[in-house]
Amino acid sequence: MRVMRKILKRKVCIVMALLVILGIAVYGVSAFAEEQTATTTPFTINKDYIYLNPTGMKLSDADWTNKNAEIWLNVTKWDEKHKGTYDSNSGYWYWDATNWEIKDGNTYFFTYGTDWGVINSKPYYRTEVSSDILAKGKVYAQNGPASTKIEDQDVYALKEYTSNAGQSLTFVDMKASNLSGVQAQFSLDGNYDASTSEHVTALQLSDGKVTVPNDVNGKAYQYVRFIDAQNNAITDSFDISTAISKGGILYYGIRQDSSKTYSEWSQEKKSETTPNVTKLYFNNLSFRTSDDITIQIGSGEPVKVVPDDTATNTLSYNISGTIDKDTIISITKNGVTYRFYPNGTDNLITYSGSNICIKGTYQASSLNTVYFDATLSKLSYAGDVTNNSLPLKDAGIRYHAWNNENDFKDGDLKKLEDFSDGTHTWSDVYQAALDKKYSYILFYSSTDGTIPSTPTANKTYDLTIPADLTNPCFYADTSDDSIYKPTNRSGYWGELYTVRNAEGKTKDGGSTATSDTIVDIPQGTLTRNSSMLYVNTTLYDYYSDYELNGYNRDAYSYKTDLNSLGNNPILHYIYQPFRQLDQALSSYYDKNNASSSIYWGNFQNYKGSHYSDIKASLNLYGSGDWNKFIYENNSMWGRNGYELSNGNSAVQGLVADTLSNNNLMIKTSGKTVAAPYFNEDFLTGNNSKNTVLGKVYKDVTFPFVKKPVTSTSYKGSVDYWYFDSADNNASNKNLQLQQSVKDGYFLNPSDQAVKGQTASPGYPATNDNNYFPFNTNAQSGNATMLNYGFGQKFDLKFKLTSDGTVKTTDNEDAPIEFNFSGDDDVWVFIDGKLVLDVGGGHGKVNGTINFKDKKATVSSVKNDATGGGVTPSKVNSFASDETITKDYFTKEHTLTMFYMERGLWESNMSISFNFPDENEFQVEKNVDTAGVNKDIFPDTLFDNTSVFPFTIQNQATHFGIKKATAGQSIKTEVFNDTFESNKVQNVSGNTFEKVNNWVGQTNVVHWLAQLDNVGGSYKKRRWGSILPAGSDSFNATYTAGSATDHYKYLQFKFYYDYKDNPSTQFMYIGLEDSDGKQAGNYLTNDVATANSSLTNKKWITVNVEIDKLIGSSQIDLSKIRYIRFNYDYSRDFYLDDFKFIPSSEVTNPTGFVTKQYEIADYGSVESGTLMYPENAVYTISSDKSSTRISWVMMAYLYWQMVRLQHSQTSSDEAVT
């Protein structure tokens, strides 16, 4: 049978080859279809025919797929109409065009019938007129509704239809991971779930190759991905046509980092020439001698790359042994592994797009070359002021270099080709190849080639060429504010092809020196108030053009008094201070074909400072559709381009309705991508400007105060947690971002009221206080200095009551709510699903989520239709969204809110919510045990205690009498904190040994592996193993009441002794029990937390969540034999204090931390007075150091917990 199949295949191949020779393409058939899938009868495309594929053309009562229909082809400039013939094999309509003479201007369209009265009065009875010329041998198809109606009726758009059937695809495993059973999974629509997709087919690879199967019912397979033998996806989904156009070969694992394996479609990457090189050099524009890089040849061991002995500032590697065309070379840099093949006699390793290859031959570079980066200086401000860009639009860049007045050189800079380092691409770098060493240089641009004689941003200041840089590059400043004053342009020197970050840099030339920080974050003290709720947030500060130069906006001095500008001032410098950020966003939107594009600034649509004055120079993505652009970016304009009565309406649909890994996403054509304005990677340099465009402040403490709120819908009041920037009487007023070593970043209430500025006559300050967390009252009311560009993200866990209501003070039901009021964009997600959409740059808009009714209401929303206008009180129901509503009243929910201020003139924010106060906030506090009442707290309870974790609950209701069970304490247990030689083990000669003293810690263990190993494939040959200090095994479980539980956290300390900062995502912790069962994980954010920001040369405490560490492993936690440590890079780590910590809420809760209905009243209900909490269960953390808990702290904690449980009384129920 196998022999017969081979013969059949050979015959089919011969037939197909003859068809190709005769000019007949084969559609819907595979040479090996009998082994793949039985779909449709083979169908061939005749080169002299014209076809229409009617699939999907049933959007009205006209069914174009009906074989009895009459489908007509109409050709422009032809009088005769042509009726189509139906082909039952393919389902296509076709026209024999053998004798047709098709000329320029012969565009075409199709109609359903010939009755023009019907065609012009009903939708989808015709197609649009094509933009291209009719062609023989083509298959045409509908492309959805056309953008323009005809005779006020919807019509079909047209496209050329292509089938991928019969095309060959190849899968190459660059990882050499011995994957077996790899299959290609094909899909019509990109959905691979067979239960919901229209059609999915999986085919086994043969020698790494597979043939695209036949079309299905007139539809071609459009997408493919690759899966393993267990049907797990090992690649992304790819567009087949794109894959074929790129060469049809998928190189799997061409690049890999700790989180993902990347693939690339390409033509054959293997060279036809046998490699003949003994040394490889690294392009010193991409790779620096200080870089930590390893190289691996084939299956050999990774080796650290070192500087070459003779080639200046260049890394190299001597090849030992024989390599051939199939040898895979691996380079690991910055946690990313790149794989590629040798390339004949070429010996220069360099970047190629996002990947690395060998291309070209090493040549020593000139020692006297300097570079100029014009990425930010090239932007013309034409339409605002005279064009003072550098370079000018129609001129290049020249240099004047000198040592003294008699020793100088003038010349033109050469613009270099685009250069990529795998992540960033530079397109605006110029090179000056100097003939010798000069001390000074200036750069300029002029139409006549001469140096401008007066101060202008067309030229730089006189600059000093640095002697300590390998490839010195001058990173020129943006034009704000040098073009306004005007002055010469400044900038700073740095290594070529590095991410631009002017913060704290020494500016060269006579301009203003930068401060250490772009934004001043003052030192302060966070004093926690027991009546406040503290929520962690993340702040995103977006830099204006002025700030991108490294300057503090507090010092902005150009025309800060708007009244001095006259009656019709040009305000572009205030309206559009974020031009570089906006262009970077534009490039991101364009690259991803975003559905909507939002920007920072005031996109004025009135006369005077009209945005159209500078629209051409900015050329922002989306501005071609002006009505849509201004609708999305200016609150005063509707979708139809007409002015609205006010700016207090939201724009919905600007972002995707589902979060991805808790990240905000935006919609593109057919998929979603990360919203760049909340993407740290984008803001910190991975953008088209290769520039740090902002700063992200994490774990910022935000305080809410409690406020009673009344309503006409119920009697009494309900307590809400509340913040309102306009409330000057609240105890959390005038929040200002501050920092301290102890508390990190926090928003501190202050008396420094900051107001916005208005465009009313005289430009007065706003009446109310505004929300400007990066400003002080020194900038209040001054739009030129206020920080209008920032975003904020809140995450809040909460639970609902059994019916979504809480009780008022009059014992009535009030709905649980979340409320927002302010400007600009706000998006609120519940459990990752968008519920409240208050998007758009707008004035004050109100939004409410009612959790009882499962509805969200926005006070006013612009209509997303060409008719314009607004919809007041627009309601969105989320009752049918099972992601949210499954176990709705019992599970813990997550509310995620994204807020942005995009300017101009005010910044208002008000948030309130009345979630039941069962939400818990855990705190760890270093305390002192001196003077503790030993009758209440025995000595043994606080032995060796340094960390006391307690949980504060703000209880709002009580469930009556509840007795406490017998008391017990759950102590932290030390695994090992002495590291004697018989209790630590190394492997493969790596360092893992005891050190008596290290930076304030005694008896620690030192770990160092000799080589990098990103991904951890060799971690068993690198890790250090720790045994329990006291015995051969350790019991990491305990008994609370009648239940047995395991400790919640493994805690340890580390000291990272290296020049960069550590990352726990490259840190691996493993456990092994006495039976040899193992578990472990990398310490990603969901697995572990640290007590402070991760930095080098400092002791850091890490808490590892045991459940996340062991996953589904069957390891026995009652007999732990080893704890193992590994880091993917060769770094010096010092480790100490490995211990297990119990949960702050024990399994059998009856004390300090518990659910409301389980809280013991300790006899207070019957006695009518506050009683001593006998038999409370509590947990503590301890370590080996000798510490004490002060009686003041203990009294405070005791009183707080009793007070929280007994804060209110009433005649008919006990209080909490």
Note whether 118 and 185 are same-domain residues.
Answer: no
Please name the amino acid found at residue 366: S
- pLDDT in the model for residue 1012: 80
* Residue 684 counted as domain residue: yes
Cα separation, 626 vs 648, whole angstroms: 21
pLDDT at 25 over 50: no
Taking Cα atoms as reference points, which of 288, 280, 291 lies closest to residue 330? 280
Choose one of 1132, 1165, 1186: the last residue of a domain. 1132
Where is 1193: in which H helix or E strand?
A: helix 1191-1205
Note whether 529 and 622 are same-domain residues.
Answer: yes
pLDDT at 15 over 70: no
- pLDDT in the model for residue 39: 38
Please name the amino acid found at residue 29: V
Residue 454 confidence class, pLDDT cut points 50, 70, 90: very high
Cα separation, 838 vs 826, whole angstroms: 5
Q: What is the DSSP string of 35-94?
A: HH---S--EEE-TTEEEEE-TT--SSS--TT-TTS-EEEEETT-S--EE-EE-TTT--EE
* Residue that wins the pLDDT comparison between 1195 and 351: 351
Where is 547: in which H helix or E strand?
A: helix 545-548
pLDDT at 31 over 50: no
Cα-Cα-Cα-Cα dihedral sign, residues 1203, 1204, 1207, 1211: negative
Residue 9 confidence class, pLDDT cut points 50, 70, 90: very low
Cα separation, 429 vs 352, whole angstroms: 17
**Residue appearing with tokens 């390599």:** 323
pLDDT at 549 over 90: yes
Choose one of 146, 161, 176: the last residue of a domain. 161
Cα separation, 300 vs 294, whole angstroms: 12
Contacts of 485 (CB under 8 A, 6+ apart): 455, 558
Note whether 844 and 906 are same-domain residues.
Answer: yes
Query: Helix, strand or coil for residue 953?
Result: strand
Highest mean pLDDT among 401-415, 1089-1103, 1141-1155: 401-415
Give, as one character, the DSSP assignment of residue 280: E
- pLDDT in the model for residue 206: 92
Note whether 320 and 375 are same-domain residues.
Answer: no
Please state whether beta strands 315-318 and 238-239 pair in parallel, antiparallel, or not at all (unpaired). Answer: unpaired
* Residue 760 counted as domain residue: no
* Residue 409 counted as domain residue: yes
* Residue 1117 counted as domain residue: yes
* Residue that wins the pLDDT comparison between 557 and 666: 666
- Note down the domain range covering 958: 925-972+1147-1205
- pLDDT in the model for residue 511: 56
Q: Please, are residues 655 and 594 in contact by the beta-carbon 8 Å criterion?
A: no
Cα separation, 378 vs 364, whole angstroms: 31
* Residue 26 counted as domain residue: no
pLDDT at 653 over 60: yes
Stretch 234-252: mean pLDDT: 92
* Residue that wins the pLDDT comparison between 559 and 918: 559
- pLDDT in the model for residue 165: 83
Question: And the tokens for 626?
Answer: 């002006």
Stretch 301-321: mean pLDDT: 93
- pLDDT in the model for residue 199: 82
Stretch 76-95: mean pLDDT: 91
Q: Please, are residues 1097 and 1043 in contact by the beta-carbon 8 Å criterion?
A: no
Cα separation, 744 vs 1092, whole angstroms: 8
Question: And the tokens for 1086?
Answer: 């969901």
* Residue 858 counted as domain residue: yes
Note whether 243 and 304 are same-domain residues.
Answer: no
pLDDT at 1198 over 50: no
Stretch 557-561: mean pLDDT: 89
Note whether 744 and 628 are same-domain residues.
Answer: yes
Note whether 253 and 279 are same-domain residues.
Answer: no
- pLDDT in the model for residue 1183: 37
Rg, Å, the chain Cα set: 35
Cα separation, 410 vs 398, whole angstroms: 7
Where is 399: in which H helix or E strand?
A: strand 398-404
pLDDT at 211 over 50: yes
- pLDDT in the model for residue 393: 85
Note whether 141 and 276 are same-domain residues.
Answer: no
Please name the amino acid found at residue 207: D
Q: Tell me the whole-structure pTM to 2 decimals.
A: 0.66
Contacts of 255 (CB under 8 A, 6+ apart): 261, 262, 264, 336, 337, 338, 339, 354, 355, 422
Question: And the tokens for 531?
Answer: 């009546």
Side-chain-side CA neighbours of 126 within 13 Å: the count stands at 24
Stretch 365-388: mean pLDDT: 90
Backbone angles phi, psi at 1179, to 5 degrees: -125, 155
Count CB neighbours of 846 within 10 A: 17
Stretch 413-426: mean pLDDT: 89
Query: Helix, strand or coil for residue 245?
Result: helix
- Which residues are 297's β-sheet partners? 329
Distances in whole angstroms, Cα of residue 304 to Cα of each of 293, 330, 367: 6, 12, 26
- pLDDT in the model for residue 610: 86
Check residue 559 and give left, alpha or beta (phi > 0: left; psi -120 to 50: alpha).
Answer: left
Taking Cα atoms as reference points, which of 785, 788, 789 lies closest to residue 558? 785
Cα separation, 633 vs 611, whole angstroms: 11
Query: Helix, strand or coil for residue 1034?
Result: strand
Backbone angles phi, psi at 855, to 5 degrees: -135, 150
Note whether 208 and 281 are same-domain residues.
Answer: no
Cα separation, 1112 vs 880, whole angstroms: 32
Highest mean pLDDT among 49-63, 905-919, 1143-1157: 49-63
Residue 1161 confidence class, pLDDT cut points 50, 70, 90: low
The tens digit of pLDDT for each residue in 101-125 reads: 999 889 999 999 999 999 999 999 9
Contacts of 1204 (CB under 8 A, 6+ apart): 952, 953, 954, 955, 1216
Taking Cα atoms as reference points, which of 370, 567, 385 lies closest to residue 485? 385
Please tell me the least confidently modeled range out of 726-735, 810-819, 1190-1199: 1190-1199
pLDDT at 438 over 90: yes
Distances in whole angstroms, Cα of residue 331 to Cα of each of 11, 251, 286, 328, 358: 46, 16, 13, 10, 11
Question: In the structure, how many helices (H) and strands (E) does the chain have?
Answer: 14, 74
Sheet-wide strand order for 279-282:
306-307, 315-318, 279-282, 348-352, 355-358
% the chain with pLDDT above 70: 85
**Torsion, CA 1161, CA 1164, CA 1169, CA 1174, rounded to 10:** -70
The tens digit of pLDDT for each residue in 47-63 reads: 899 999 998 898 889 99
Residue 1199 confidence class, pLDDT cut points 50, 70, 90: very low
Note whether 1115 and 1200 are same-domain residues.
Answer: no
Please tell me the least confidently modeled range out of 343-357, 897-911, 1000-1014, 1090-1104: 1090-1104
* Residue 30 counted as domain residue: no
Please state whether beta strands 532-542 and 491-495 pair in parallel, antiparallel, or not at all (unpaired). Answer: unpaired
Choose one of 138, 161, 184: the last residue of a domain. 161
The tens digit of pLDDT for each residue in 1037-1078 reads: 988 766 788 999 999 999 999 877 888 888 999 999 999 999
Residue 569 confidence class, pLDDT cut points 50, 70, 90: confident
Count CB neighbours of 1175 within 10 A: 14
Cα separation, 1124 vs 1110, whole angstroms: 13
- Which residues are 1054's β-sheet partners? 1100, 1135
Count CB neighbours of 1114 within 10 A: 10
Count CB neighbours of 816 within 10 A: 21
Please name the amino acid found at residue 218: G
What's the CATH number where 349 sits? 2.60.40
* Residue 294 counted as domain residue: yes
- Indicate the length of the chain as a whole number: 1216
Cα separation, 668 vs 675, whole angstroms: 11
* Residue that wins the pLDDT comparison between 728 and 944: 728
Q: Please, are residues 711 and 720 in contact by the beta-carbon 8 Å criterion?
A: no
pLDDT at 967 over 50: no
The tally of domains found in the chain comes to: 7
Taking Cα atoms as reference points, which of 454, 504, 455, 507 lies closest to residue 482? 455
Note whether 1034 and 995 are same-domain residues.
Answer: yes
% the chain with pLDDT above 90: 61
Cα separation, 735 vs 750, whole angstroms: 6
Helices (H), 465-544: none
pLDDT at 812 over 90: yes
- pLDDT in the model for residue 1163: 56
Residue 523 confidence class, pLDDT cut points 50, 70, 90: very high
Note whether 606 and 538 are same-domain residues.
Answer: yes
What average pLDDT does the structure give for the chain? 84
Q: Please, are residues 729 and 712 in contact by the beta-carbon 8 Å criterion?
A: no
pLDDT at 21 over 50: no
Q: Write out 867-918 in H/E/C secondary structure.
A: CCCEEEEEEEECCCCHHHHCCCCCCCEEEEEEEEECCCCCCCEEEEECCCCC
pLDDT at 750 over 80: yes
- pLDDT in the model for residue 789: 95
Stretch 148-164: mean pLDDT: 87
